[in-house]
Structure 1
C-alpha cells in the first residue's frame, strides 16, 4: 500500500504534543516525515521541539543513536500529503474537526493510501461514516510519548478492510511498535478504563480526602500503577483528557465520565500538565 510508488513517507497532521511525538518516533526510525499544520506558530517551533525530543529519546535508548534519521519536512497544506505512503491524523479530540481533516486527506492522497486517526476516544466508524473510502481508515491510539511506549492500541472499525489492517501492521513494523487490535467503540479499551480512573482520582482530591501526591503514591505502592493516575493526567494533557472524557460521557451516558470540576478548573486556568509547566504537579518547560 504505497501511495507514492517509491520512497515510503509518513504524513502527520497536527503539530501538537502527539503529532510532534509521532514525527519524532518516525524520523528516529529512519522514516521521512511531512508534518502538516495550519498553525504557522506551531510549525515555527516544531523543528526545535522534534530535535529536542529526538535527542532525549536517543539518550534514553528509546531510539537508535546511530543509523539514518528520516528527512523532516513541514507544510501548511493538505496537498503536501499527496505522495504519502501512510497518513496519521493527530489533531485535537473533536469529532467535527477530525472529520473535516479526513475528508481533505481522502481527497488529496492516492487511492489505497493508509489513513489513520490517532484518537483516544472517538469511535473510528463515527469518522468512517462521513468520509470517502471508509475501508481505508483505521485507528491507532499512540500513547504519550510515542517514542517511549512500545505497545499501541489498534482500532479496527466495522468498515476497515483487511488490506488496511495489513498496511497498519507494515507501518508499525517500520516504527518498531507492537499493536494490539481491539474492537471499535467509545474509548476502546485503554481510555475507557484509564480515563474514568483518572477522573475518579481527581474527584477524590476535589473532595479533600487526599492530596494528588497521596493518591498517586497509593496507586503506585499498593496497586502497582507505574506513575499514578494524576501524574499520568499531566502527561496526557489535562485539556486532552477532558476532551476525551466528554466524548465518553456523550457517547456512553456514563456519569462517571463527566469531567471532574477539578479537571475543568485546571483547563480553564491553563494548567494542562507537563506541556504548560503546571497541572497536578509543576514541571520545567523545555
Structure 2
C-alpha cells in the first residue's frame, strides 16, 4: 500500500508546530521555493518525498509522506526562527504581549496589520516574514533572543516576579505589590493612557483608585496575597471595602485583579477595554 501523503499544514499540525514555521524551515533547507506567489518543490524536495496533489476544491498543493516527520531536518524545528507564538510559550506570556514588549524595545514596529522588523531587530538576528495567505508581515527570532538580559529583566517585571527594582514599573510609576506592577506594565505596553493613585471626589466623599483609564472611564483595583502578612491588614481591607461601597454608591465602573487572576490579565483587560471602545492591537 502506498504511503499516505499530507499537506505541509497537516504535517505542521502533526509536529505540533505552526505551519508558517515549517514553511520557513523547508525554504531555508532548500526543499521548497516560492515562485510567482506559489510554492514549488525543488529537486531536493522531490528527493525527500515531496509530491504535488490536486484537490478539486483547493487546487494543487505540495504533500509529504507521513514518515517525513522523522527526518533530521524537521528535528531542527525547535532551533528554527522563533515566532511570537513560540516565544509566548517559552516566556509564559501571551503572544500579544511578546510583540508589544519587542516593540517597546525598538525591535519591531506596527504595520497596518502585523509587525515590521526594525534595524535594531535585524541587528540581533530578527528575520522579516510574511503570512502565506494574508500577506500579513511578522518577525521571527533566533534562539539567542531567549538569553537577552534586557528582555529577561523586562519579563520579570511584566510577570510580577521578585526583582531588585520591585517597586517600579516600565513607565516609572511606583507600585505597592506585584499585581499592581503587572497591571501598570500591561497598560504601558498596550499604550493605554492611565493614571496611578487617581483621586476621585464626590462632594465631601473621596477615594483613590489604584489605576484610572480615562479613555474608558474605568478604574482598576489590585489585591495581593502579601496583604495577609501586613500588620495593618484589617485597616487596609476596611479602606478597600469603603472604597468599593463608594464606587457602588456613585456608579463607578471598575474591575479588580487578585493574585489568582493576574495570569489572565491580557484576556481580561483586552476584553474589558474593548467593551468600552478601546481595541488592543
Structure holding more strand per residue: 2
Higher RCO (C-alpha under 8 Å, 6+ residues apart): 1
> Is TM (by shorter chain) over 0.5?
no
What's the TM-score once normalised by structure 1's chain length? 0.29
Structure holding more helix per residue: 1
